[in-house]
A and B are shown apart, each in its own frame.
Chain A
Amino acid sequence: MQEFDLQELWGQADDRAEAWYDRLRPDLVAIARQKNDSILQRIRRLVQGELLFSAVAFVGLLFYWQDFHLLLFLLLELTILLVMVISYRHYLQFSKEIEAVPAMNIVASTEAYLNILRGYKKRLVRLSILLMPVGLIVGFMAGFGLGSENDYSAFLSLKFWLITIPALAAIAVPTYYFTLWYYRFFIGSKEKELAEVLERLQE
């Protein structure tokens, strides 16, 4: 086949594009302003959700301060605040990277995209194996304190911790695998595909 044929045929394909665009044009800006549903923007919204949830928890807890032992109350609020500060810094950096990705060249953009996905995965796994057990024990302590007029003496027993720590570790293991499964199910195949594209482009 001569290249001329291909190029000529390609040029003729413009008619279809024109017909398509004529129909699209009146709604062009309305379409362009719709919600961005790309993977990166969905991840961004999840991180925004985490921040919002933390803020609600922080403010919500303020209304119940007199129900908790002062030390536990301060510990809870400071922990939430710390999580919010770390998450917000991460969110700013993350947003900056997401916005820069589309206009980069294909190799740089694919690399950046993969780095963002891998960073998110690492963060998701760390959060899940840390927050789930810590959240459970803190929640349990808070509930126990509320039910026993802030008598926390039960938590001073060694036996309690000898049972609780392995139990929490046992919870962390399935949580870790569930998080990995969740990531692979929603994003993993795209990450694998892009890694292959990048590898071939860099050959």
Chain B
Amino acid sequence: MKREFQHIIDQHYGILYKIGRAYTQDQADFDDLHQEMLIQLWQSYTRFKGNSKLSTFIYRVALNTALTHQRKAKRRVDRPGIEDHFYHLPDNSGSETEATRQREEQINLLYECINELKKEDRAVILLHLEGNAYEEMADILGITVNNIGVRLLRVKKRLQKSLIAKGYARV
């Protein structure tokens, strides 16, 4: 069970990381949320019957956890092995070039803009940016394919506006 679980997460950790970033505003909250997502996946994955794609199942569990996640008042300190520099720049390794630093800044800015969207809109844009088809997005979110199209257009406009306001976009 342990190995199987590890194997599943090995293939889908990107989903957890990106959803974690999009739904939190600091490292402590990010740590709490990804921990909650892992616990929820651990408890749920034995009930996965293969009726849908595994990634659909993981998106559902992770997004549901993110939507219902409640920010804690106090920082938990019992988490082993996780340090603070995965959330904010700069990376202190000293190996960064100006180009990578600039790219990281842009990525952080993108997450910042996604974070300003409404919670359900964050899910829509995340699923789109991850390259999911409209049908799959509809299956994860529980809304119609037509509705996905309309929402996505609206969310992209909001995101674009926000990015332009922060001086990122090349129009």
Residues of A within 8 A of B (CB): 1-3, 5-7, 9-10, 12-14, 16-21, 23-40, 99, 101-110, 113, 190, 193-194, 197, 200-201
Contact B64 A101 (CB under 8 A): yes
B47's nearest neighbour on chain A, judged by CB, is A103
Measured in the bound complex, the distance between the Cα atoms of B74 and A176 in whole Å is 29
A113's nearest neighbour on chain B, judged by CB, is B68
Extra contacts besides A17-B17, A104-B60 (11): CB < 8 Å: A6-B129, A6-B159, A10-B129, A12-B107, A20-B17, A20-B86, A23-B83, A23-B86, A28-B6, A29-B6, A110-B64
Which B residues, 99 to 136, have Cβ-Cβ distances below 8 Å to chain A?
103-104, 106-107, 110-111, 118-120, 123, 129-131
With contacts A24-B81, A106-B142 taken as known, whether A16 is within 8 angstroms of B40 at the C-beta atoms is no
Contact B118 A39 (CB under 8 A): no
B62's nearest neighbour on chain A, judged by CB, is A102
With contacts A103-B61, A106-B142, A190-B70 taken as known, whether A24 is within 8 angstroms of B82 at the C-beta atoms is yes
A190's nearest neighbour on chain B, judged by CB, is B70
Contact B40 A38 (CB under 8 A): yes
Q: Give min CB distance, B101 to chain A, whole Å.
A: 13
Contact B67 A110 (CB under 8 A): yes
Report B-chain residues with C-beta under 8 Å of the C-beta of A34. Answer: 35, 39
